[in-house]
Amino acid sequence: MFRRKATSESRVIELAGHELRLYIIRERRSNQRFGLSSKGLIVRIPIMTSTYELNRILDDAFHWAEKALTLKPMHPVNFRKLKEGDDIIFFDGPRNVKFSDPSATTEPLQWKASLKKEKFLHIEGQEPVAFEEYELLSKSVRKAVKNHYRKTLEQRVRQWNNHLELGEVKGFRLGYTTSRWGSCQHNTGKIALSTRLTLCPLWVIDAVIIHELCHLIHNNHSKAFWALLDEKYPRYREADHWIKEHGTKCIL
């Protein structure tokens, strides 16, 4: 007997004043399950769910999500809708969003972002108008931010490590993540940071860097780990509070 693999589909919906992405995931399960995160509304259903039953489940999911968004306001999208003239505050200062002349491109859904010009985030292409266009643009912006700040943040990691002497850093990676601000591979000595950190104050970035460097010594969150972090960077508590308060707004 063959088992069908999980399949998924997605589309854009409007819910409680938000435009967000709906993910419908068919998988081996006996009941439905709803989830709401920065990715959007996720609806998990049994593989063999009929179209009629799916419509009923979606009605329940929409009702549940509307109530959840009312009780606990959040941003059910994981990208920023960039517009002409917006200011993005990076750790090294603000940058103003500038789109090129619409006549400068023949491919309206293709964008190229650059931070080379000081104080500007320059985007070649037309200003987006639809959800999917903003979603595509964000990928280009994230890539530009990664390329621009990668060397700076790697140097920051190595400078702190040389100063604190916590272990050998054997690799560094910068990438856009929504679930973690940083990570450390204890066995390989590789440190990874989220591009979202570029939207945090430098002292918060330092807190995350030193947190991960401490994992070169303690591959856990034991009392010994927290004692070491407190010794090396006591301000980590303040940084943790800042992230809890402002972290959901740090998106690209």
Determine, yes or no, domain membership for 25: yes
What per-residue confidence (pLDDT) applies to 33? 93
Residues 219 and 102 in one domain: yes
What per-residue confidence (pLDDT) applies to 2? 46
Determine, yes or no, domain membership for 28: yes
Residues 64 and 111 in one domain: no
Residues 201 and 174 in one domain: yes
Domain CATH number, residue 130: 3.30.2010.10
User: Across the 252 residues of the chain, what is the mean pLDDT of every consecutive 10-residue run?
Assistant: 66 85 92 88 92 94 90 76 93 94 58 90 90 90 96 96 92 91 92 96 97 95 95 96 91 89
Residues 114 and 13 in one domain: no
Determine, yes or no, domain membership for 20: yes
What string of H, E and C letters represents the secondary structure of 108-126? CCCCEEECCCCCEEEEECC
Residues 179 and 103 in one domain: yes
Residues 33 and 93 in one domain: no
Residues 96 and 144 in one domain: yes
Residues 56 and 171 in one domain: no
For residue 28, what are the domain limits? 7-71
Residues 65 and 92 in one domain: no
Residues 221 and 177 in one domain: yes
What per-residue confidence (pLDDT) applies to 73? 67
What per-residue confidence (pLDDT) applies to 18? 82
Residues 185 and 227 in one domain: yes
The number of distinct structural domains making up the chain is 2
What per-residue confidence (pLDDT) applies to 108? 53
Q: Give dist(CA 238, CA 243) in Å, integer.
A: 9
- How does pLDDT run across 157-186, given as a tens digit for each residue? 999 999 999 989 999 999 998 889 999 998
What string of H, E and C letters represents the secondary structure of 125-184? CCCCCCHHHHHHHHHHHHHHHHHHHHHHHHHHHHHHHHHHCCCCCCEEEEECCCCCCEEE
Residues 214 and 179 in one domain: yes
Determine, yes or no, domain membership for 125: yes
